[in-house]
Amino acid sequence: MAFNPNTIWLSHSSLNDFEKCHKLYYLRNLYRDKLKGNRFRIQIANPYFSLGEAVHDAIDRFVTRYPTSERDKDKLFYEFKRSWQLRAGRRGGFKDSAQEEYFKQRGEAMLERFYKNSSFSKGQTLKVDFPKLPLVGEDEVVLVGNFDWLEKTSSGLHILDFKTGTSEEEGSLQLPIYALLATHVLKLPVEKVSYWYLDRDDKPKEVPLGDLDSVLAQLKQKAQEVATVIAKQDFTDKARPCTTDCEAYQAVVDGKGEYLFTDFNRKREVFYPNV
């Protein structure tokens, strides 16, 4: 796919933003402070995001950087410590040391649970860099995603997503989106998809995949809606009033947030919400 600077990149999270509030979608995914020359989107530091990213990053580095024979718990927790240091204090959105310690201990408990399951702590995951699936035209709107865990089975693929929150996914398109991306890129069928609620479960929980053809049709329709809204540059939506998240991001745009740092890996400017 040739580079197109006007391509609209859609992910599960950005589609969720669009469904909640068009303005939230704009502020979290499209807005750039061009007067300051910023190339990256803005992100509000949040303890829940920080916890999730630290756990995901630790697992990813653990299984990709170390051969199976060298994977021990010390290395897993070393990677978590490195990840946490990048998000310590206000950088992680923590209001005080007590809150930070609470979230850190939750993360450590999740990694204990992951490590005890040798099918994964000693397992192998396929790495697919930036999987893409065109939804509108060849490159007008493109679906993207990021696999937490992707492995070959005897008859296809198993897609697993690590969950670090407390709520259970219901009716989410996340795993069907990942299944569409995997089959498009790897040309292999997806045999099963699972969530692993690391906060409470010792192993993944398989969920029904559903009809991918109908999901793809739904995504193409939604992609066209997004493209139409962006073309009009009108992100007001009377049917979906602004959320508290939307208000918090608007406050940052209005200069009411404290700049913390630039995350070059995830291409974002991170702020603490002083509101």
pLDDT score recorded for residue 87: 95
User: Is residue 11, in this structure, part of any structural domain at all?
Assistant: no
CA torsion 120-125-129-135 (nearest 10°) is -90
pLDDT score recorded for residue 84: 98
Indicate the number of domains in the chain: 1
Spatial strand order of the sheet with 190-197 comes to 149-152, 157-163, 190-197, 205-207
User: Is residue 124, in this structure, part of any structural domain at all?
Assistant: no
User: Is residue 227, in this structure, part of any structural domain at all?
Assistant: yes
User: Is residue 272, in this structure, part of any structural domain at all?
Assistant: no
User: Is residue 72, in this structure, part of any structural domain at all?
Assistant: no
Per-residue pLDDT at 3 exceeds 70: no
User: Is residue 164, in this structure, part of any structural domain at all?
Assistant: yes
- pLDDT tens-digit map of 140-199: 999 999 999 999 998 999 999 999 998 888 889 999 999 999 999 999 999 999 999 999
72 backbone φψ class: left, alpha, beta (φ>0; ψ -120 to 50): beta
Domain around 193: 132-231
CB distance 86 to 56 below 8 Å = no
- Contacts by 106-110, CB closer than 8 A, 24 or more apart: 106/51, 106/164, 106/199, 107/51, 107/54, 107/55, 107/58, 107/80, 107/164, 108/77, 108/80, 109/199, 110/55, 110/164, 110/198, 110/199
User: Is residue 174, in this structure, part of any structural domain at all?
Assistant: yes
User: Is residue 183, in this structure, part of any structural domain at all?
Assistant: yes
Burial pattern 197-224, b for ≥16 Cβ within 10 A else e, equals bbbeeeebeebeeeeeeebbeebeebbe
pLDDT score recorded for residue 185: 96
215-232 average pLDDT score = 97
pLDDT score recorded for residue 1: 56
Per-residue pLDDT at 2 exceeds 70: no
CA torsion 96-100-102-108 (nearest 10°) is -170
Per-residue pLDDT at 137 exceeds 70: yes
